[in-house]
Structure 1
């Protein structure tokens, strides 16, 4: 699960620069996502039962992920849910 989320975060950060140009819209969306998650105390890692030891890292990483939009989050959570179902005894 953590590998899947890590890859999703990295792929999102790579969108900041495309074709040797800085994508200011992507950076702006990411900053807004981070601000909202910090203000609302939304932490996907805690929700999934994997709280992080660094206080604001969970909301920051969650903000990066939600900046991709609802379809992306829906697909990501579907993948995480599927992983949990396969690992259930």
Structure 2
């Protein structure tokens, strides 16, 4: 995958994680429902080894960090995770298509 596309994917993941963390505090108060969803998401990823950073081509240098960050992302729900993964997949496919066009010229 193109390095620029990888950085764009990483930027999108970082923004999504930050927005997820911000949702825990609703008008200055702790939202236990959102916190619970985050804990369930992180626990599921730790137990299954799900790691979006590795899938995006960034194997983490710190054990379990990719799984924790993936848990934060999936805590937002299936629609959000689907949209994020679809965006990553489309970016990867477009990068491959653009690379093959350059190689055939």
Question: What is residue 56 of structure 1 aligned with on the other side?
Answer: 64
Instruction: Report how far residue 80 of structure 1 moved.
Output: 1.1
The reply on whether 1:8 has 2:4 as its aligned counterpart is no
Aligned residue pairs: how many?
Answer: 89
The reply on whether 1:20 has 2:20 as its aligned counterpart is no
Q: TM-score, normalised by structure 1?
A: 0.93
Q: TM-score, normalised by structure 2?
A: 0.80
Provide the C-alpha distance between the structure 2 equivalents of 1:20 and 1:34, rounded to a whole number of angstroms. 23
Question: What is residue 76 of structure 1 aligned with on the other side?
Answer: 84
Worse-matched range after superposition: 79-88 or 2-11: 79-88
The reply on whether 1:36 has 2:51 as its aligned counterpart is no
Query: Comparing both structures, which one devotes a greater share of its residues to helix?
Result: 2
- Which consecutive unaligned segments of at least 5 residues does structure 2 have? 1-8, 100-105
- Which consecutive unaligned segments of at least 5 residues does structure 1 have? none
Instruction: Report how far residue 74 of structure 1 moved.
Output: 0.5
Instruction: Report how far residue 36 of structure 1 moved.
Output: 1.0
Instruction: Report how far residue 33 of structure 1 moved.
Output: 0.7
Instruction: Report how far residue 47 of structure 1 moved.
Output: 2.2
